[in-house]
Structure 1
């Protein structure tokens, strides 16, 4: 009898948005692994549904009350969870002590590098409240100038944090490696920019780097309650997409899933603009905010509808391939308003099957212009607390 082949390696999406591949040989499970999973499970239940009693946590998680008591005790001792008083009596039985994530004392530092004119950062509590916000103008020059500006912003934010900081999340344009290197970002001229290393030397908190569109997609899922399959399009200095399938980021074998900005959507030499990458007709050359503003300044009244149509041309095959039902657009509302959305929707309807048309929901990102900033904070919660 021929033995069955071993199971194929499966991709693992890391907390910082990177992807690794599990080894072919099955790894032995260790008690520490189960402990870590249970810890993340408890923190996730509390973050989304808390405060809850230990008994309720045990019931929802399927863990024993003894295990739950030990876990909650450890989380309280670590300062991540606090007791909030006895729950109201309902029915029989002794009321339990309510516990919750310490939302007011715990903070994340979030930085958004995708905006057209500045780097923006904030210190945000787990209540979602901003304690402080700073920005610095986009620096002139190469990645060394960018590094100095990003480090300055991160240090200012860290110094101003009013409580414990879980970590620093940075959402950046470009393809980001698992080690936090921006491998390439054509629209800002970066190649091999080791952002992780630069920030790790500058601030005394864990640092996590992610692509801007991926971060925004994680934020929409984690913070805004989007639970289905999702494609989030980030429009700023460039154009990119974050794709979630069953709540997990689609990263791709070279960390480049969602890099739709350099997909060609116009090939007529007479009307295809030149992109920052050197080619003609790339989506970014039609839809990025600098491109739209230039055409508006030149008196092109149809530029906003044109941008919506070009984006629809690029997205229709993705929707057809993945049967996605939710399209979220993150970008300036003054440019990406009703005319843009109307043209995008009509283009998608023209280019997809009728069965798909009925399920496509196109909407603006929940956090508007702060979608990427909030997403940068969300990647810290995923990386440091295991919350998904």
Structure 2
């Protein structure tokens, strides 16, 4: 290219790309609106022509993504306009979670409403990965049957796992499950016809919390189960780190030379503030957790910490001890105190976040969904 830059205005844009962009623009305009906007209102908000908006809306309605409501009675002159909203009966997301002592599944529709929720309590540590995932596959089948009975079509599935996961769904290591290099998607044959995403449970829980009403744009989400994970949200985006494995706060050393951890080290936070440790000695757990959280705040300058997973129902017991350590150890505590709160989504945050990944995919790429519908 002889070192020359080509102006973006001179790069050809395919008509299909323009249509895909505009479909997403219209769908997101409706989805992000507090009201039910009319076609004319969408045209005004997006800058698209009314004719273009009308054609795009027709396609989105035909694809089950939008619904048109009856116009409200109008006393003035002119014909009242019908409002548009996301379809509660269109594509849905299947959120799955596998953790040390339970399996979970939920179905969330395009509007963000949880339509079905299933939780099975069982110890995964005694099972080989294939057997544990077979049980999850069966639970997913129950959720899928319930969704289809409602007339919903699953757009995809996402699975939350307490471990380090590659983009292709390979769980490199999940110490508390005893997993290493487990290729998850092939072990879920009941979902073979759906796109499947696999991610760290704390990351997905953080994304779920980010989408909840009133969420801050930057916060540290800490998930406390048998193990402990964290999701870091900065300016509305999940921070994954250079290799995609950020957030392993459970293996931050809080007591050097202390208790041995399943990861092979000693004195890890998990051994002092995991679910079993909280039950045994909540004061020690809170103090240990406060030490680790103080280090993260000093490093990243985060002003909000959200306690989720098993920590959410224990929030009142843990709060005082954690906040004491934050006041003591965070350098800027006297200038800007750290806000500590329980997760809005409670212990369901990971599977809710997983389902939300699927729903967000549809809302950001409706053209892809419409192409799937037309291919059936």
TM-score class normalised by the smaller sequence: 0.7 to 0.9
* TM-score between both structures, scaled by the size of structure 2: 0.84
Which residue of the partner structure matches residue 154 of structure 1?
140
Distance apart, 1:69 and its partner CA:
2.3
Which of 109, 132, 157 is the aligned partner of 1:168?
157
Which residue of the partner structure matches residue 281 of structure 1?
267
1:184 is aligned to 2:173? yes
Distance apart, 1:256 and its partner CA:
0.7
Q: How does 1:67-216 map to 2 (within 5 A)?
A: 67-87=52-72, 89=74, 94-114=79-99, 116-125=100-109, 126-135=111-120, 137-139=122-124, 140-161=126-147, 162=150, 163-199=152-188, 202-216=191-205
Q: How does 1:343-358 map to 2 (within 5 A)?
A: 343-354=321-332, 358=336
Distance apart, 1:215 and its partner CA:
0.8
Which residue of the partner structure matches residue 53 of structure 1?
38
Aligned CA distance change for structure 1 residues 228 and 88 (closer, same or farther; 3 Å): farther
Moved more, 347-356 or 319-328: 347-356
Aligned CA distance change for structure 1 residues 361 and 43 (closer, same or farther; 3 Å): farther
Q: How does 1:299-378 map to 2 (within 5 A)?
A: 303-332=281-310, 336-354=314-332, 358=336, 360-378=338-356
Distance in 2, matches of 1:231 and 1:28, equals 42
Q: How does 1:373-388 map to 2 (within 5 A)?
A: 373-386=351-364
Distance apart, 1:276 and its partner CA:
1.0
Q: Secondary structure at the match of 2:70?
A: strand
User: Does the CA contact (< 8 Å) of 1:304 and 1:335 recur in 2?
Assistant: no
Distance in 2, matches of 1:28 and 1:321, equals 45
Distance in 2, matches of 1:68 and 1:227, equals 32
Distance in 2, matches of 1:28 and 1:154, equals 44
RMSD: 2.8
Aligned CA distance change for structure 1 residues 329 and 32 (closer, same or farther; 3 Å): farther
Unmatched tracts of structure 2, length 5 or more: 366-376
Unmatched tracts of structure 1, length 5 or more: 7-26, 297-302
Cα deviation 1:88-121 (Å, max 9, x = unaligned): 549776532211111245432221223x421011
Which residue of the partner structure matches residue 230 of structure 1?
219
User: Does the CA contact (< 8 Å) of 1:123 and 1:133 recur in 2?
Assistant: no
Distance in 2, matches of 1:341 and 1:283, equals 17
Distance in 2, matches of 1:254 and 1:210, equals 13
Aligned CA distance change for structure 1 residues 324 and 5 (closer, same or farther; 3 Å): farther
Distance apart, 1:32 and its partner CA:
4.0
Distance in 1, matches of 2:49 and 2:233, equals 32
Distance in 1, matches of 2:13 and 2:243, equals 28
Moved more, 307-316 or 229-238: 307-316
User: Does the CA contact (< 8 Å) of 1:113 and 1:171 recur in 2?
Assistant: yes
User: Does the CA contact (< 8 Å) of 2:104 and 2:117 recur in 1?
Assistant: no
Which residue of the partner structure matches residue 372 of structure 2?
none
User: Does the CA contact (< 8 Å) of 2:141 and 2:190 recur in 1?
Assistant: no
Distance in 2, matches of 1:5 and 1:309, equals 56
Aligned CA distance change for structure 1 residues 157 and 285 (closer, same or farther; 3 Å): same
Distance in 1, matches of 2:208 and 2:93, equals 13
